[in-house]
Structure 1
Amino acid sequence: MRAVVQRVLSAEVRVDGEVVGKCGRGLLVLVAAHRESVSAQAADLADRVAGLRIFGDADGKMNLTLKDLPESEEAEVLVVSQFTLYGDVYSSRRPSFSQSASFDIGKALYEEFVASLRPLVRGVETGEFGASMEVELVNDGPVTLVIDAR
């Protein structure tokens, strides 16, 4: 599994023009499952995302996780599925998605990732798996990381 994690001031996702998920200060996480991804990777990836020390401490140094932030700064997470993270453009200019998991497996792993993340952080919202979505965000930093589950 793969995640692109962006530290944001706010983010929201729409389906058919309607907001289905949003967050304030926190993380926007784009998630995809590889065709060889397994269940254990969903929990591993959720743990890694929850434990990222990418928020500034009193000295402005990236040292705090979502949980370390004061409750008054209620950090949140918006998780959006994005199978195109496994797009391959090395042999053609038209992306191949043959490395992405099938719809059913991808959906199951995405849902497992979200379920694993919920007890680890405050406030998790999601997009709609498999839908055509519009994602709007305000980057903070910007800070963007790509994480591959082991």
Structure 2
Amino acid sequence: MSQAQVSISSKIVGQIDRGYVLLIGVADEDGEAELDYLVHKITNLRIFEDTNHKMNLSLTDVNGSILAISQFTLFADTKKGNRPSFTKAGKPEHAEQLYLQFVQRLKDAGIEVATGEFGADMQVELTNDGPVTILFDTQNK
């Protein structure tokens, strides 16, 4: 992203300039191993352009930030009917705990992290540079 922000009730609660917007869904099976995998992958993934316009620099190389948004709807199952089912999403207590741990681990890795609010009705605005969108699925490492 070249910029992004999240608002709740028309008040900006988190914003970043260059970096990533992470939409984070948590399953009940997710735990420490998934957190370790994601923090390592996300902080070291080389998708920012270098001086030769090649995707060769990581988030830490460009001193980027992260806007982390909880997003249970990533688990939407649309196979039956016209109303999505969210039964594959983690229970809220587990999902919130893992989301908060994930944010803290990113901060511990030296990344500036802004957030929304778990479970809140949020409005997310972003300018997707590229655009580049990448899916990390810990069930398919």
TM-score by length of 1: 0.88
Deviations 1:7-62 (A, max 9, x none): x0000000111111100011111101012212321232122111111100110100
Match for 2:52: what amino acid? D
1:113 aligns with 2:102: yes
Distance in 2 (CA, whole Å) between partners of 1:119 and 1:54 is 22
What is the match of residue 92 of structure 2?
Answer: 103
Instruction: Name the count of aligned residue pairs.
Output: 139
1:42–1:110 CA contact under 8 A, matched in 2:
no
- Secondary structure, aligned partner of 2:27: coil
How big is the shift at 1:121? 4.0
CA RMSD of aligned residues (A): 1.2
1:58 aligns with 2:51: yes
What is the match of residue 123 of structure 1?
Answer: 112
Identical residues among aligned pairs (%): 40
How big is the shift at 1:146? 0.5
Distance in 1 (CA, whole Å) between partners of 2:30 and 2:73 is 15
What is the match of residue 27 of structure 2?
Answer: 34
- Secondary structure, aligned partner of 2:135: strand
**Larger relative CO (CA 8 A, sep 6+): 1 or 2?**
1
Deviating runs (4+, > 3 A) in structure 1?
Answer: none
More strand, by proportion: 1
How big is the shift at 1:139? 0.7
1:135 aligns with 2:128: no
TM-score by length of 2: 0.93
Structure 1: gaps (5+ residues):
1-7
